[in-house]
């Protein structure tokens, strides 16, 4: 059996009884950072052998783990925090294990994305986990453009030093929306910052700690856009001297929609 075992995202009391039991019983624990996991295991009096399993060594170690699983041993995968395979190593190993007929078993527990979502006050009936935005500006903009039309709450992870820049791009591409910044979940300085994207951008000074960004989805009942108005506004912006790209960006801001929607609407009105 391959166990995917959750560990706390801050508060050690979020470790489950079952996680402790399974981590004691398995033959091997595959951990993203063995030093960090060793501390957790010591705290819970767990003495199972550990093997390093991170992005750099995952191909070689996955092979070793599979061999042991096929020999009848049991292995648990843990990440530094939360659920393995969620913006953390593990997913690939699960695929490989399934392909060779090994059973996989979840040991559920803490997860930053869902903890943020349930306290966000935003729609929890439909949501999309988008993970970390791409680091390259071009890829990030394309990624956000695609997400901007989704009618479901969207959840991102982002590092504190990239947060302000990310929020500025989000405001530009998504238009004004409600967001919730869930900071330092389950830790002493846990807080939820709620408001419009631009309001939170103003409030944030130097973001510190770990953040989940939860963003309101595109409104389900939004009326279809009046195409003449969009093209009128667009034409006026061109006449005022803006190039096509800037005119589309300004029109998108004005109508509080994505650039892609402006583009589609202009295509529609020119047919």
Interface ranges with ligand SAM (CB under 6 A):
9-10, 79, 81-83, 86-88, 111-113, 157-159, 182, 184-187, 210-212
Beta carbon of residue 258, minimum distance to ligand SAM (angstroms, whole number): 24
Query: In the complex with ligand SAM, which residue's Cβ is closer, 207 or 217?
Result: 207
Beta carbon of residue 119, minimum distance to ligand SAM (angstroms, whole number): 11
Beta carbon of residue 5, minimum distance to ligand SAM (angstroms, whole number): 11
For the range 228-236, what are the long-range contacts, defined as Cβ-Cβ under 8 Å and sequence gap of 24 or more?
A: 228/269, 229/255, 230/255, 230/262, 230/265, 230/266, 230/269, 231/265, 231/266, 231/269, 231/270, 234/262, 234/266
Beta carbon of residue 90, minimum distance to ligand SAM (angstroms, whole number): 9
Query: In the complex with ligand SAM, which residue's Cβ is closer, 83 or 247?
Result: 83
Query: In the complex with ligand SAM, which residue's Cβ is closer, 98 or 159?
Result: 159
Query: In the complex with ligand SAM, which residue's Cβ is closer, 1 or 91?
Result: 91
Query: In the complex with ligand SAM, which residue's Cβ is closer, 90 or 175?
Result: 90
Question: Which residue, judged by CB position, is nearest to ligand SAM in the bound state?
Answer: 82
């Amino acid at each position: 059996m391959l166990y995917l075992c959750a560990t706390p995202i801050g508060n050690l009391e979020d470790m489950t009884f079952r996680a402790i039991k399974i981590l004691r019983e398995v033959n091997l624990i595959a951990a993203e950072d063995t030093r960090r996991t060793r501390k957790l295991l010591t705290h819970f009096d767990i003495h199972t052998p550990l093997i390093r399993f991170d992005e750099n060594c995952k191909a070689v170690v996955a092979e070793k783990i599979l061999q042991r699983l096929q020999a009848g041993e049991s292995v648990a995968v843990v990440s530094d925090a939360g659920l393995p395979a969620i913006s953390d190593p593990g997913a690939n190993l699960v695929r490989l294990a399934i392909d060779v007929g090994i059973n996989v078993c979840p040991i559920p527990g803490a997860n930053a994305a869902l903890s943020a979502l349930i306290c966000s006050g935003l729609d929890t009936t439909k949501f999309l986990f988008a993970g970390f935005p791409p680091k390259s500006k071009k890829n990030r903009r394309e990624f956000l453009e695609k997400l901007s039309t989704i009618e479901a709450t969207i959840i991102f992870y982002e590092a504190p030093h990239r947060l302000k820049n990310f929020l500025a791009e989000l405001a530009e591409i998504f238009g004004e929306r409600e967001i919730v910044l869930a900071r330092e979940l389950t830790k002493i300085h846990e807080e939820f910052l709620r408001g419009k994207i631009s309001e939170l951008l103003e409030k944030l000074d130097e973001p510190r700690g770990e953040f989940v960004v939860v963003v309101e989805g595109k409104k389900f009942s939004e009326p279809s856009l009046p195409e003449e108005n969009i093209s009128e506004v667009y034409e006026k912006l061109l006449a005022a001297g803006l190039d096509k790209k800037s005119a589309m960006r300004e029109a998108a801001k004005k109508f509080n929609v994505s650039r892609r929607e402006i583009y589609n609407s202009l295509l529609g009105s020119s047919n």
